């Protein structure tokens, strides 16, 4: 993404006029897929964005129906971009091609195309885009951060890490904010088998160890530990552009209340905020 921004003005002309696509009823179509977008009110010039990936069987239109999420993101002056997963293996439910050996859409190229199109049509600033996602979307966030860390400024998965066997290495350091419900039974913190044992959700703590290695953290112990309301938080500051935050909450498989404010505070201030 940071390599894409310098060429966007020349390639796309920064066409700032309101486009006729992007609504719940009319997605913006690309060669590789589609997305929807809600812009903040009263903003001029390039705006930051949260690109939020739906869970298995969801859609971008479904994300836009989450009024709490939409309003909390746009109230902070961010655009909310909701891409559509692809239909895989002849099925009728949308998901993401996050495992390296799976056949299907090149998701890194698709997300780069979404950012480029949103920059051209809606004046989204790709250098201030956060990739977030829930459940299957959160798995996609982790795998994209691992393979293409430069594509987004920061990554914020909710209820998803890696599958086993998880990657042995990742391409480079990232800013990562992992949120997970302590009592999540769909994607438990420790993972679980799926498909009669053919697949295995990974252990979120093993995923965090990989991220500490990737970010060059000198210690497994966090730099900070604190509680914010119902959240228990840990953070590791491992160098410029290499920080990790883990936020646990007492609920299950869901995007918890207050998530947007917490994550955008972290994205804007360079570290998780102790409030």
pLDDT at 238: 96
From the CB of residue 89, how many other CB atoms can be counted at a distance below 10 Å?
8
pLDDT at 10: 32
Strand, coil or helix: what is 109?
A: helix
Backbone angles phi, psi at 63, to 5 degrees: -60, -40
Contact 190, 259 (CB under 8 A): no
Share of the chain above pLDDT 70, in %: 91
Fold (topology level) of 5-269: Rossmann fold (3.40.50)
Rounded CA separation 199/201 (Å): 7
Higher per-residue pLDDT: 7 or 122: 122
Domain boundaries, the chain: 5-269
pLDDT digit string, tens, across residues 166-200: 999 999 999 999 999 999 999 999 999 998 989 99
pLDDT exceeds cutoff 90 at 131: yes
Q: Quick one: average pLDDT of 50-54?
A: 98
């Amino acid at each position: 993404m940071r390599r894409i921004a310098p060429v966007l003005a020349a390639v796309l002309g920064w066409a700032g006029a309101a486009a006729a696509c992007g609504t719940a009823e009319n997605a913006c179509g690309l060669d590789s897929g589609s997305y929807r977008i809600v812009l903040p009110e009263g903003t001029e010039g390039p705006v930051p964005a949260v690109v939020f990936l739906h869970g298995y069987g969801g859609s971008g239109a479904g994300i836009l129906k989450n009024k709490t999420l939409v309003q909390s993101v746009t109230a902070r002056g961010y655009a909310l971009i909701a891409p559509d997963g692809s239909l895989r293996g002849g099925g009728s439910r949308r998901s993401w091609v996050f495992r390296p050996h799976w056949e299907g859409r090149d998701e890194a190229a698709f997300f780069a195309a979404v950012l480029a199109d949103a920059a051209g049509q809606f004046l989204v600033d790709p250098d201030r885009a956060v990739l977030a996602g829930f459940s299957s979307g959160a798995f996609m966030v982790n795998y994209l951060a691992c393979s293409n860390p430069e594509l987004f400024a920061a990554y914020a998965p909710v209820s998803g890490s890696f599958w086993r066997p998880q990657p042995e290495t990742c391409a480079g350091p990232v800013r990562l904010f992992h949120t997970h419900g302590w009592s999540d039974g769909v994607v438990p913190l420790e993972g679980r088998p799926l498909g009669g044992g053919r697949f295995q959700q990974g252990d979120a703590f093993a995923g965090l160890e990989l991220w500490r290695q990737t970010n060059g953290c000198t210690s497994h112990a966090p730099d900070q530990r604190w509680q914010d309301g119902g959240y228990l938080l840990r953070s590791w500051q491992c160098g410029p552009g290499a920080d990790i935050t883990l936020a646990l909450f007492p609920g299950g498989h869901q995007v918890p209340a207050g998530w947007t404010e917490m994550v955008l505070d972290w994205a804007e201030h360079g570290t998780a905020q102790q409030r």
